Chains A and B, each alone.
Chain A
Amino acid sequence: MRRIVCTFVVNGVTRELLVETNALLSEVLQDDLGLKGVHVGCGTGDCGACTVLVDGLPVLSCSTLAVTVRGKEITTVEGMANGTKLHPLQESFIEHGALQCGYCTPGMLLASKRLLEINPSPSRQDIKDALAGHLCRCTGYNKIVDAVMAAAEGEE
């Protein structure tokens, strides 16, 4: 098989696409669906920028064949805001200056979203463990941890 008809629920919307088996999830999201918030950094699974949620779990979209996640729910950074209302984590990132160039931000946000779902009041170390492997080359790590801490406190 070289092409498969796939159904994905992307950011809450069901999408049916004819997908080549060699297409990466990041490629389908960026090219076929125009979701430019999916950022590919290293392309080798080292930097975490391309992270998306598959059935709620952070997964590296640059290292996933799109056809292997057919039938699943996929959330990209575009799916975090509710209309024009930003997600509390996004608000907190802005508030704390937790982004400079913004390239790592979608991955940071989505991995943090998952963390707060399973651990609503994380310690700084919990946040660092969850975000290990998400590289910020502007090296703004402290502010990112601050932002996630504040978002968690705000939700309590």
Chain B
Amino acid sequence: MFFRALRHFEFFEPKTVAEANELLLSYGHQASVMAGGLSLIQTMKTGEKKPEAVISLQKIDSLKFIDSDNDQDLKIGALATIRSIEKSREVQKHWAVLVQTARCIGSVEVRRMGTVVGNLCDGTPASDLATILIAMGAKMRVTSSGAEREVPLENFCVGPHQTVLEEGEMVREVRVPSLGDHSFASYVNLARTKPDITKVSVGVLVKNQNGACGDVRIAVGAVAPVIVRVRKAEELLRGEKLKASTIEEAARLAQEDVVVRPITDIRSNAGYRKEMVRVLVERALTDVVDKMNGAHAH
């Protein structure tokens, strides 16, 4: 016998979502769901997770999809890889910001193995995808035996790596609202090197209402136990024209928002992260203005 980094577990490869739900129900908290496996295998190596059963979704063909009709929500199945989002022509065309965000994540290998839904379910507050998707108002479709519910991604995490998923539940897909012709999104992040974990990130969605800012959502990642929205800055912007001075003021409000309470770790200190919230909010909003002007010019 050879040394193995992982403890023993029962391994299941259900072929349907219903089968997976049943297995999840019978094993309860003893079970872990595996999509791409990247984060699950890491947490099993460290011993943070010690599942009795690993339920792999990899054989459930009905979860391998990206459904991207521009007029409707973008639907990303639980097995769609980050790489497949990056490569999808439709996503490139109508949800370009997601492609740009996907490219901020790890290496090609990581993006090929890792799934979008898996990344969201991992529940790290530094998730690039979760930051932009919260700004875009994405929703998680959660299934369990005989039931299905929808959870806004914004409310999905309750702490670092802690989600609202209950015993027997799993995420079937994530839905991203269509941007249409009037909404503009931007994602900016800071990381030590490109493939490294994000130190601070900002996702912004602005609805253009006759040249002024209609609905607006600003999500900030890696500055609190969960990804947060900076509502004071959002309120300031609503109904306003996005002038440089307004953007600057909103960025300042974002930095000072009480929800922004970053930690100091090996990558950055808290003071720097807080400062960067202002810089990144300003950059993201400026980028949105550029996109609005660009769209207007066409």
Contact = CB atoms under 8 A, between A and B. Distances in A.
Nearest to A107: B109
A43 B5 contact: yes
A2 B9 CA distance: 7
Nearest to B41: A63
A35 interface: no
Interface in B1-37: 2-12, 34, 37
Contacts of A60: 38, 109-110, 113
B86 to A, nearest CB: 11
Interface string A113-145: 000000000000000011011100000000000
Given A22-B4, A22-B8, A45-B42, A133 B110 contact: yes
B78 to A, nearest CB: 15
Contacts of B109: 45, 48, 51, 58-60, 111, 133
B37 A132 contact: no
Contacts of B5: 24, 27, 43
Instruction: Tell me the dominant secondary structure on chain A's binding face.
Output: mixed
Given A48-B107, A132-B107, A64 B37 contact: yes
Contacts of B10: 1-2, 21
B41 A65 contact: yes
A132 B113 contact: no
Interface residues of B, number: 29
Contacts of A58: 108-109, 112
A44 B11 contact: no
A31 B2 CA distance: 7
Contact of B108 (A1, A24, A129): A129
A57 B83 CA distance: 12
A146 interface: no
Contacts of B145: none
Contacts, number: 94
Interface residues of A, number: 32
A46 to B, nearest CB: 8
A8 to B, nearest CB: 16
Contacts of B8: 2, 20-22
B9 A21 contact: yes
Interface in A45-90: 45-46, 48, 51, 57-60, 63-65, 67-68
A24 B4 contact: yes
Nearest to A51: B109
A69 to B, nearest CB: 10
Contacts of A16: none
B195 interface: yes
B112 A1 contact: no
A59 B108 contact: no
A65 B37 contact: yes
A1 B12 contact: yes
B11 A132 contact: no
B7 A22 contact: yes
Interface in A1-23: 1-2, 4, 20-23
Nearest to A21: B11
Contacts of A129: 108
B2 A21 contact: no
A68 B5 CA distance: 16
Nearest to B194: A132
A32 B113 CA distance: 24
Contacts of A67: 11
Contacts of B58: 68
Contacts of B195: 46, 132-133
* Most chain A beta carbons < 10 A, residue from B7, B8, B107, B110: B107
Given A27-B2, A46-B195, 4 more contacts: A32-B2, A58-B112, A60-B110, A133-B110
8 contacts: A21-B54, A27-B5, A44-B42, A48-B109, A59-B112, A60-B38, A63-B42, A68-B58
Interface of A: 1-2, 4, 20-24, 27, 31-32, 43-46, 48, 51, 57-60, 63-65, 67-68, 111, 129-130, 132-134
Interface of B: 2-12, 34, 37-38, 41-42, 45, 54, 56, 58, 106-110, 112-113, 194-195
List the 4 shortest-distance A-B pairs measured between CB atoms, nearest first. A133-B107, A21-B11, A31-B2, A22-B6
